[in-house]
């Protein structure tokens, strides 16, 4: 397919599929080769009682539907409905492709790829590396191929942005044969970091070649060291379980704890997986919630400890990532907590006073974009991420170069 096929008025569908939900966006081509979102929505309750909701770019409701018992509501039927609904609102424009967020691309994929049966087979081999995400990403691709076999599909990987990291940042100190088999640090949230790496120089051109630590703080949380727009190091490693404490994930943990759980508690792989992925993190420490807003509102001491641990680890990892780059020129907060939680940003800023960080309280409460005071040695920004925009751009490019 050539760039001529991607002419004005075309559209890209972006899909982010989970276990029981499917988020989607529609991007239309705009002037100067840009892409603007026109529709956002989701299908929730997949497998139980599916519900479809769609809004326009201004967040105004466009449509809603609930499937009743007995109606066809498997993924294929739901995606067939979604495509028909979207195509009815394109005003004659052509839907060029569907771009998917795929968590794991292994060591080979440093860029998005047009999906083929051979690529799908390869991506299925990465399911053990991302068991909570990869199966659902691929299930949506298969279902859409069944519902709309003529529509090109593109995989955009959360690991791709990190593939150019130095070998030291990717390697574990384990026997070489295991490293060669793929047991290495991959890093995740790459689509988010790639967007920030593109957006930051627009806000602060002097940082285009700078050393920047980005904190992607949401239900899943990680951090990345970016030097001159390229990933140098990250907190997530072999899986999306590593690094910072998250909503329900433990983050970094001594492997000896896992041996202890197996030997002393008699826990098998499934039980340990459930403990570390679903019962730990903010939820495990607080015993109350995995929602940062609920923890900040609570007077329970354990809720306070969960917040404090989260902020402590962010500050600690900031220092480690700065060391990976030989210094730091800026700090960026992004994703749900990073973009909207002024108290978390303020606490992290206080813990980074040794770096010369000074947060401006009024700018912080206003959510930025610049939240550091003029006296701060390094600037601190809040930049909303847009993984969907990256997927749309990548999908169009993949079609143009195919």
Domain range holding 141? Answer: 11-157
Are 231 and 345 members of one domain?
yes
Whether the CA torsion 220, 222, 226, 231 is positive or negative: it is negative
Measured between alpha carbons, how far is 30 from 9 in angstroms, rounded to an integer?
7
Measured between alpha carbons, how far is 104 from 101 in angstroms, rounded to an integer?
9
Q: Which of 204, 206, 211 is nearest to 226 (CA)?
A: 211
Are 215 and 135 members of one domain?
no
Are 228 and 360 members of one domain?
yes
Please tell me the predicted confidence (pLDDT) of residue 242: 95
β-strands 11-17, 95-102 pairing: parallel
DSSP collapsed to 3 states, 220-238: CEEEEEEECCEEEEECCCC
H or E element in which residue 332 lies: strand 330-334
Q: Which of 158, 233, 242, 386 is catalytic?
A: 158
Please tell me the predicted confidence (pLDDT) of residue 211: 97
Please tell me the predicted confidence (pLDDT) of residue 2: 35
Are 225 and 140 members of one domain?
no
Task: List, in sequence order, every residue forming a beta bridge with 113; answer none if it has no partner.
Answer: 155
Residue 16 in contact with residue 10, Cβ under 8 Å? no
206 belongs to an annotated ligand binding site: no
164 belongs to an annotated ligand binding site: no
How many residues does the structure list for the chain?
402
The conformation of residue 101, written as its DSSP 8-state character, comes to E
Are 18 and 131 members of one domain?
yes
Are 112 and 217 members of one domain?
no
Give pLDDT tens digits along the chain (402 positions).
Answer: 333 333 347 889 999 988 778 899 999 887 667 888 999 999 988 878 889 999 998 899 999 999 887 777 788 888 888 888 988 888 878 889 999 999 999 888 888 999 999 999 999 998 888 888 899 899 889 988 988 899 999 999 999 999 999 999 999 999 999 999 889 999 999 999 999 999 999 999 999 999 999 999 999 999 999 999 999 999 999 998 999 999 999 999 999 999 999 999 999 999 999 999 999 999 999 999 999 999 999 999 999 999 999 999 999 999 999 999 999 999 999 999 999 999 999 999 999 999 999 999 999 999 989 999 999 999 999 999 999 999 999 999 988 886
Measured between alpha carbons, how far is 242 from 246 in angstroms, rounded to an integer?
9
Residue 349 in contact with residue 357, Cβ under 8 Å? yes
The structural domain count of the chain equals 2
Measured between alpha carbons, how far is 180 from 317 in angstroms, rounded to an integer?
27
The conformation of residue 33, written as its DSSP 8-state character, comes to G
Is 158 considered catalytic here? yes
Please tell me the predicted confidence (pLDDT) of residue 4: 36
101 belongs to an annotated ligand binding site: yes
Q: Cβ neighbours of residue 169 under 8 Å, at least 6 residues apart?
A: 185, 232, 233, 234, 324
* C-alpha distances in Å from residue 387, one per residue of 72, 99, 192, 345, 350: 31, 11, 5, 22, 29
216 belongs to an annotated ligand binding site: yes
- Read off the CATH number of the domain in which 244 is found: 3.30.420.40
Please tell me the predicted confidence (pLDDT) of residue 1: 36
Are 37 and 136 members of one domain?
yes
Please tell me the predicted confidence (pLDDT) of residue 6: 38
Q: Cβ neighbours of residue 142 under 8 Å, at least 6 residues apart?
A: 120
Q: Give the domain-ending residue among 157, 173, 193.
A: 157
Whether the CA torsion 130, 241, 255, 301 is positive or negative: it is negative
Q: Give the domain-ending residue among 157, 184, 215.
A: 157
Q: What is the pTM (predicted TM-score) of this model?
A: 0.91
Are 211 and 127 members of one domain?
no
Q: Which of 353, 333, 355 is nearest to 342 (CA)?
A: 333
Q: Give me the phi and psi of 365, to 5 degrees please.
A: -65, -30
36 belongs to an annotated ligand binding site: no
75, exposed or middle or buried, with CB in 10 Å at 0-12, 13-18, 19+? buried
61, exposed or middle or buried, with CB in 10 Å at 0-12, 13-18, 19+? exposed
Are 128 and 223 members of one domain?
no
Measured between alpha carbons, how far is 40 from 232 in angstroms, rounded to an integer?
33
16 belongs to an annotated ligand binding site: yes
Neighbours of 361 (CB within 10 A): 12
Residue 259 lies in a domain: yes
Q: Which of 212, 75, 217, 86 is nearest to 146 (CA)?
A: 75
Residue identified by tokens 């003529």 is 150
Residue 290 lies in a domain: yes
Measured between alpha carbons, how far is 262 from 271 in angstroms, rounded to an integer?
10
Residue 395 in contact with residue 99, Cβ under 8 Å? yes
Please tell me the predicted confidence (pLDDT) of residue 51: 92
Residue 397 lies in a domain: no
């Amino acid at each position: 397919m050539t760039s001529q096929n991607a002419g004005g008025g075309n559209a890209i569908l972006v899909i982010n599929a989970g276990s029981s939900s499917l988020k989607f966006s529609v991007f239309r081509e705009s002037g100067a080769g840009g892409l603007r979102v026109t529709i956002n929505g989701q299908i929730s309750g997949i497998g139980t009682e599916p519900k479809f909701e769609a809004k326009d770019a201004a967040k105004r409701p466009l449509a809603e539907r609930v499937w009743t018992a007995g109606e066809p509501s498997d993924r294929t039927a739901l995606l067939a409905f979604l495509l028909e609904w979207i195509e009815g609102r394109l005003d004659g424009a052509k839907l060029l492709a569907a771009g998917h967020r795929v968590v794991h691309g292994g060591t080979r994929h440093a860029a998005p790829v047009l999906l083929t049966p051979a690529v799908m087979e390869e991506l299925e081999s990465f399911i053990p590396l991302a068991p909570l995400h990869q199966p659902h990403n691929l299930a949506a691709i298969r279902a859409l191929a069944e519902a709309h076999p003529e529509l090109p599909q593109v995989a955009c990987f959360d690991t791709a942005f990190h593939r150019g990291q130095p070998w030291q940042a990717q390697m574990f100190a384990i026997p070489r044969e295991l490293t060669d088999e793929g047991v290495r640090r991959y890093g995740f949230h790459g689509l988010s970091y790639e967007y920030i790496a593109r957006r930051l120089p627009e806000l602060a051109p002097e940082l285009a070649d700078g050393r920047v630590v980005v904190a992607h703080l949401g239900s899943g949380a990680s951090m990345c060291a970016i030097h001159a727009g390229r990933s140098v190091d990250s907190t997530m490693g072999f899986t999306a379980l590593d690094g910072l404490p998250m909503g329900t994930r433990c983050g970094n943990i001594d492997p000896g704890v896992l041996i202890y759980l197996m030997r002393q508690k008699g826990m098998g792989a499934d039980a340990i997986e459930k403990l570390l992925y679903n019962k730990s993190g903010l939820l495990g420490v607080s015993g109350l919630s995995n929602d940062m807003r609920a923890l900040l509102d609570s007077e329970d001491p354990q809720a306070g400890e969960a917040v404090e641990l989260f902020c402590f680890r962010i500050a600690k990892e900031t220092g480690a990532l700065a060391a990976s780059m030989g210094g730091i020129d800026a700090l960026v907060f992004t994703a749900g907590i990073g973009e909207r939680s002024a108290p978390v940003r303020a606490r992290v800023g206080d813990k980074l006073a040794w770096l010369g960080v000074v947060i401006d309280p009024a700018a912080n409460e206003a959510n930025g974009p610049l939240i550091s005071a003029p006296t701060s040695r390094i600037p601190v920004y809040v930049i909303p991420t847009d993984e969907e925009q990256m997927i749309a751009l990548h999908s169009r490019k993949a079609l143009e170069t195919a």
